[in-house]
Amino acid sequence: MSRFALIGLAVVAGCFYTDVVNQRPSLDIHRRNEGPYFRGDMTKQIELSAVSSDPEGHNVTFHWRAYACTRQNACDRAPYFELSEPFVDIDVPPARFDVADPLLGVLVRLEGKDDFGAVARPVQELWIDVDNFAPQLKLEAYSEFGFVVTAPVEVYLEVSDADDGPEAPQVTWKVYSPSNQPDYDFVDYPAAPGPTGTKAYGKLLTPRGVGKYMVEASATDSIAPLPSVKSVDVTVIDDKPPCLRTLSPLVAIAPAALPITDPTLFQVHVVADDLDPYPAVNDGLRGTTKFTWSLLAPGGSRQVLTGVTGNRVSVNPASYQPGDVLELRVEIADRTNTAITCADASATCSVIADNSCLQRQTWRVEVR
Amino acid sequence: MRQAIAVLVMAAACSAGLDSNVRPDGNQASDGASADSGSGGCAVSYDPIDPVASPTLPIRAYTSVANPNGLVTFAWSVTFNGNAVPYTEQAADGSQIGFIAANPGFYTVYVTITNSFECPSASAVINVAAPGANTDVFRLRTVPPPSLAPPQETFVQVKGGANANRDITLETGIPVTGLVKNSATMAGVTAYLKFMPRTMPTAFSELFSSASGAYSLHLLTLDHDVLVIPTVAGLAPKLVTWTAVPTTPQLFVGPGTVVNGTVRGPGGAGFAGAKVQLYAGGVPSTLGTTAADGSYSVRTDFPTSATQVTVKVTPPAASGLPRLEATSNYNLAGAININYAASLTTCDLANTPVRRGGTAQPNAQVSIVGSLAVVAGTINGVNATNTVRVSATANGSGQLPTMLVPRGTLSAVTELSMTDHAVSAVNTSTCSVAQIDAPAMTAINGTTKKPDMTAIGGIRVEAEPIGNLALAGVAAVQVTSNASGAFSLPLAGGGRYNVRFFDPQQHVAPLVTNDVAPAGVPTNALLAQALSLSGKVMVGSSNVPAGTSVQILCATCSGLEQSRPITETATNNVSRYAIAVPDPGTM
């Protein structure tokens, strides 16, 4: 029944007059998206819409307020968000504004009134839990030397925290050494800056024994109940023996012998080794290969060329009789000085019984 | 020759419009100065082609885009030693920039291009020379794993005063299999094979063929000369042509030409045990040994173009006679007779004491070496040069056993240990040698220094014996300077050496002093400024594995120096190398 009809009915009846009572509208908050919502997450807002019901069907206007809170009863006095629209998208700030506490929830209040000023009661409140972004960690271990005992391992950690920023998390380190508890050094190491929004940390692990080490990095933002943890395994191995790689001239295999008619340089051009390669690497850490040369001439015994310590030696055929067959031998060692125990008659030797990694090679040379 | 190579290199470089690094076969090795391909087959070009550092004259870099997908934009960067270099856009569409290269070295130009499917990015490394740069030419030798590609060499022109980027692109070559056969019987032959590219013989590959004559290796697609030295009797070594197209499948060797002759001693009688070998055109004959009557025979198969034949005769060590050698236009169809001079006499040094400072030296090894001032013999009438080398070991009392040596003014090289040698004059003319004196070693103490005259440690010092010491078979002496740059080099007092100082860490350039007595070894060894050549090594379009050998060698040397790297390095695990080369300096 319309308002005018009621008035008309009253007039016609002639018995009484009463003003029509404007009833309050009622409100409800509808969530247009679901959580979780995260502190400071610029990629996801709280999306809400207001729903009203007015008994008289009057138009209702809305007013939203959102408060940054730690708990439901611990919110900022002033709202950080206000808007008079039926649909709102509310940002989630990382922290409260009144105090330096982190934001753990958002209290949303919706008020409304109809065109005649009837205020909706009760004011609608919605408590929205806000989650905390835990620190994100990226941990890597790197070594140019293949995780060889005594060789330093560079450990890089990148920390990011979407709500608190990369500087906020407190980082702690742990090193779990192998069960036999070898010594190790673990010191700060300058780390190259990481990508924007991250903080880089560097550590240098120098293991003194072989085995599986685990480097663990923890970061906490003091909000998450547990720290974020990442670990990386570093399996440290023994220093592998050096391997002869590139030699010149041709190594002849008995009974063949390389004919030489002119003074000839016998050279080792490349030795592969994790810590003591040849040619040397200019990095201040690696050393270089030790060479031992020996010569077996007809009618003699093998003589170590003690004055020759480098990667090459020359042989002058004029020092011998044409037809003489010489054996020129090179043996290599790295800092571990693993003994070459093969029989003297063996032209080649691998201390690890691997023919692709020789520490001894012998040129058979025929003087022409 | 060196100038000729330089001209060749420069001419080829100019014709290619590029810096140096030209293969002798005419192929262009990849060079950092050239415009490099981008990810889509496009390129950054630049001019001038040979830029020189200048505070005012800009270098223009430009690129172009074909078949754009829309509005094309260009984002450029120029870096030098890791630092950004400012640039200005030189074209309205952004496709050209100009920048000032005030310092010599290599600049990296990179461009990212939008809306270009074919060319999303491109880059170039531009080598900028120092003003007034001197140049030097070296051989750059690269030895990848044999299964990947054959060893390869190229001449590189190094400009003074600036580091340079030089990528190395190796040819994969082709896998080659073949057979070495006896041309008379068609049987397979075991032989030593040395494949030498005709355009760069020093980049040779060696191997032995199997018992069936089979061989397989990787070779460049170039024609090669192959030195085949059979290991079986009755066949003569031969230089065989191997062609890449069509691929030569078989290498034939045969009995060749038999050359006979007789070796006669000073008394005119033939004697046994002398070794005779002939050489011509880089090919040896078989090795002949004289019978009791002095007769010998060898087999030869020399290149027809080789007219000069060298004959070498090595008498038995116990004869006391010198070795003879002569080169002439010998007629191989006739006998080649070797006659020691009738005037040549020997004397026996038996019981001669070997002493140092008056103290007998038991078990000392003594080599009497040198060259007689007289004509010691003739080879088919041609006067031969002579070389004396007779060795013996003193007894426990320090006295020599029977040791026949020719009469003349010679030298004694005494080896007291592998690191203790002495050189002294010995005059056997009258057979009255009172003693073999072994003067004490001379320790040359010095310091290795950087160009700024401060000490540098870790420098390898290598003294290579030459002359009499080398003839006696004395090995090189190698020491390393300590952290303070101090070194002590023990040398034989009367010896002569080629001495090299080089830095394994590649901070400074090598220092070489040839043919010096110990007193001539620089005690303030000032190692010169080095330049860095660096780049990537590829085989075709593939990275080479770590450990590929990269060597810088003398462009014009012969003998030992031809194979002795001036510096050497190896690629790392991202296929890059960096090597120090002597700085030719600037004018």
pLDDT digits (tens, 9 = 90+) for B91-102: 998 999 999 999
Which residues are registered as beta bridge partners of B314? B275
In the stretch 307-326 of chain A, residues with CB closer than 8 A to chain B read 307-310, 312-314, 316, 318-323
Strands laid side by side in the B224-230 sheet:
B205-208, B191-197, B224-230, B238-242
B221, B244 Cβ separation under 8 angstroms: yes
Compute the nearest-CA separation of A322 from chain B (Å): 7
Of B500, B491, B490, B498, which is closest to residue B515 (Cα–Cα)? B498
Per-position b or e across B182-219, b if 16+ CB within 10 A of its CB: bbeeeebbbbbbbbbbebbbbbbbbbbbeeebebebbb
d(CA B398, CA B393): 9
Domain with CATH 2.60.40.10 in chain A: 136-236
pLDDT category at B493 given cuts 50, 70, 90 is confident
pLDDT recorded at residue A196: 86
pLDDT reading at B504 higher than 90: no
Instruction: Give me the amino acid identity at A173.
Output: W
pLDDT recorded at residue A19: 65
pLDDT tens, residue by residue, A12-51: 555 556 667 888 899 999 999 999 999 888 889 999 999 9
* Cβ–Cβ contact A242 with B under 8 A: no
CA dihedral (B50, B52, B56, B60) in degrees, to 10, reads 30
Mutate: best of B560, B574, B577, partner A, most A CBs <10 A? B560
Q: What's chain B's average pLDDT? A: 90
Q: In angstroms, what CA-CA distances link B19 with B126, B135, B136?
A: 10, 12, 13
Contact B565/A313, CB-based, under 8 Å? no
DSSP secondary-structure letter at A139? E
Nearest CA in chain A to B192: A258
Contact A318/B472, CB-based, under 8 Å? no
What count of other Cβ atoms lies within 10 Å of the Cβ of residue A321? 17
CATH of domain A243-367: 2.60.40
Compute the nearest-CA separation of B507 from chain A (Å): 9
Tell me the CATH architecture of domain A26-129.
Answer: Sandwich (2.60)
pLDDT reading at B466 higher than 50: yes
pLDDT tens, residue by residue, B178-225: 999 999 999 999 999 999 999 999 999 999 999 999 999 999 999 999
Interface pTM (ipTM) of the complex?
Answer: 0.88
Of A213, A282, A167, A314, which is closest to residue B505 (Cα–Cα)? A282
Nearest CA in chain A to B390: A319
pLDDT recorded at residue B41: 55
Q: Which helix (H) or strand (E) holds B467?
A: helix B467-471
Mutate: best of B142, B202, B205, B206, partner A, most A CBs <10 A? B206
Nearest CA in chain A to B478: A308
pLDDT tens, residue by residue, B511-537: 999 999 999 999 999 999 899 999 999
* Cβ–Cβ contact A285 with B under 8 A: no
pLDDT recorded at residue A314: 93
Q: Which residues of chain B lie closer than 8 angstroms to A263, CB-CB?
A: 470, 559-560
Contact B279/A249, CB-based, under 8 Å? no
pLDDT recorded at residue B418: 85
- List the structure tokens of B133: 């740069």
pLDDT recorded at residue B38: 44
Q: What's chain A's average pLDDT? A: 90
* Cβ–Cβ contact A293 with B under 8 A: yes
Task: Measure CA B130 to chain center.
Answer: 29
- List the structure tokens of A69: 């809170």
Contact B284/A368, CB-based, under 8 Å? yes
* Cβ–Cβ contact A146 with B under 8 A: no
pLDDT recorded at residue A17: 61
B194, B227 Cβ separation under 8 angstroms: yes
Within chain A, which residues score under 50 in pLDDT? Answer: 1-2, 4-11
Nearest to B419 among A269, A288, A307 (CB): A307
Nearest CA in chain A to B464: A314
Compute the nearest-CA separation of B563 from chain A (Å): 7
Compute the nearest-CA separation of B533 from chain A (Å): 15
pLDDT recorded at residue A101: 84
Contact B563/A303, CB-based, under 8 Å? no
Contact A303/B568, CB-based, under 8 Å? no
pLDDT recorded at residue B33: 37
pLDDT tens, residue by residue, A241-282: 999 999 999 999 889 999 999 999 999 999 999 899 999 887
Does domain A136-236 fall under CATH 1.10.3720.10? My reply is: no
Q: Which residue has better confidence, B553 or B14?
A: B553
pLDDT recorded at residue B11: 33
Mutate: best of B152, B205, B231, partner A, most A CBs <10 A? B231
pLDDT reading at B28 higher than 90: no
Q: Which residues of chain A lie closer than 8 angstroms to B461, CB-CB?
A: none
Once rounded to an integer, what is the mean pLDDT over residues B26-50?
59
Contact B418/A307, CB-based, under 8 Å? yes
A275, A321 Cβ separation under 8 angstroms: no
A103, A71 Cβ separation under 8 angstroms: no
Q: Which residues of chain B lie closer than 8 angstroms to A317, CB-CB?
A: none
Q: How many CB pairs under 8 A join A and B?
A: 129
Once rounded to an integer, what is the mean pLDDT over residues B408-423?
94
